[in-house]
């Protein structure tokens, strides 16, 4: 089963014009140098940088993604950005359901499913984030929580071609803590079983499941080598060209 590795950088609310462009150019140059075609590289800058980053990565095969979208195509939604707009601007991907949106903006599985469905409809690929809190993990509820999130936030039109799942334990995001490699593999394998129920076995076997949460050059190789880990969603370490390039290298 060949699932093409995806290394995705989530810049979050970071980057002004000059440093954002420099970061994008650096990532583009590093990835171009590798000449690799066995993996996809994606950067997801804030909305304000999408146009400039698009220019900066031109000709490098680095792809462009946004960090969120609305579920409507247009209308009276002050401050929101629609998937149709993101597609129009040149994005290939959009992240939905990141834990920071679930927590800080009260996003429900139902809302995330609507966003993902609309993004797919607009011709974007979606990265749907799931993951348990520390409290849920300590209570032994990791698989239950991920199951509910998948069943509730993966839309009906999801296929392996338009949807990627990112398993991001909330307690591992930006903390420097990571689960053991056994825990990561066990959860990813369990997620794939739930995806089989949701989307059918054939689709589930081809759908990529990324790991996210304090992935860095020093732990990337062992995490990315796990059989059910098909890439990484990287926050902090995607903000430094050398670190992000080292993670891409570790995916070989």
Q: Which residue ranges make up the site for ligand PEP (CB under 6 A)?
A: 10, 168, 173-174, 212-215, 233-237
CB neighbours of residue 226 within 10 Å: 17
Q: How far apart are CA 92 and CA 27, in angstroms?
A: 17
CB of 128 to ligand PEP, least distance (A): 12
**Which residues have C-beta within 8 Å of that of residue 60, sequence separation ≥ 6?**
27, 28, 29, 31, 32
Q: How far apart are CA 247 and CA 245, in angstroms?
A: 5
If the CB atoms of residues 174 and 227 are measured against ligand PEP, the closer one turns out to be: 174
Q: Give ∠ CA 245-90-119 in degrees, rounded to 5.
A: 100
Alpha-carbon distance 17 to 92, whole Å? 21
| Catalytic entry in 40, 70, 98, 132 | 98
| Catalytic-residue membership of 168 | yes
Least distance CB 232 / ligand PEP (angstroms):
8
Handedness of CA 14, 19, 23, 24 (dihedral sign): positive
CB of residue 172 to ligand PEP, shortest distance in Å = 6
CA distance 239 to 210: 18
Q: Would you call 98 a catalytic residue per the annotation?
A: yes
Report, in Å, the least distance between residue 37 CB and ligand PEP. Answer: 25
Query: What's the burial of 233, exposed, middle or buried (CB within 10 Å: 0-12/13-18/19+)?
Result: buried
Where does residue 205 rank: exposed (0-12), middle (13-18), buried (19+ CB within 10 A)?
A: middle
Give min distance, CB of 16 to ligand PEP, in A.
19
Which residue in 40, 168, 185, 188 is the catalytic one?
168
Backbone angles phi, psi at 208, to 5 degrees: -80, 140
User: Measured from the CB atom, is 84 or 231 closer to ligand PEP?
Assistant: 231
Closer Cβ to ligand PEP, 84 or 219, answer by number: 219
* Catalytic residue ranges: 98, 168
């Amino acid at each position: 089963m060949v699932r093409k590795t995806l290394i995705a950088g989530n810049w979050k609310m970071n980057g002004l014009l000059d440093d954002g462009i420099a970061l994008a150019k650096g990532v583009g140059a590093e990835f171009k140098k590798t000449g690799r075609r066995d993996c996809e590289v994606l950067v997801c800058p804030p909305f304000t940088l999408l146009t400039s980053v698009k220019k900066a990565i031109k000709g490098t095969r680095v792809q462009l993604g946004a960090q969120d979208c609305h579920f409507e195509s247009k209308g009276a939604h002050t401050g929101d950005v629609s998937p149709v707009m993101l597609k129009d601007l040149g994005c290939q991907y959009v992240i939905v359901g990141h834990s920071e949106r679930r927590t800080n903006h009260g996003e429900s599985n139902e809302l995330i499913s609507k966003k993902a469905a609309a993004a797919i409809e607009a011709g974007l690929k979606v990265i749907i984030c799931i993951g348990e809190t520390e409290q849920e993990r300590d209570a032994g509820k990791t698989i239950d929580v991920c199951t509910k999130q998948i069943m509730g936030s993966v839309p009906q039109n999801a296929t392996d071609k338009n949807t990627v799942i990112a398993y991001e334990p909330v307690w591992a995001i930006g903390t420097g803590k990571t689960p053991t490699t056994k825990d990561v593999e066990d959860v990813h394998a369990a997620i794939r079983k739930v995806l089989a129920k949701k989307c059918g076995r054939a689709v589930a076997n081809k759908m990529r499941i990324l790991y996210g949460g304090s992935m860095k050059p020093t732990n990337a190789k062992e995490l990315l080598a796990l059989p059910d880990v098909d890439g990484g969603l990287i926050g902090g370490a995607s903000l430094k060209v050398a670190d992000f390039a080292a993670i891409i290298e570790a995916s070989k």
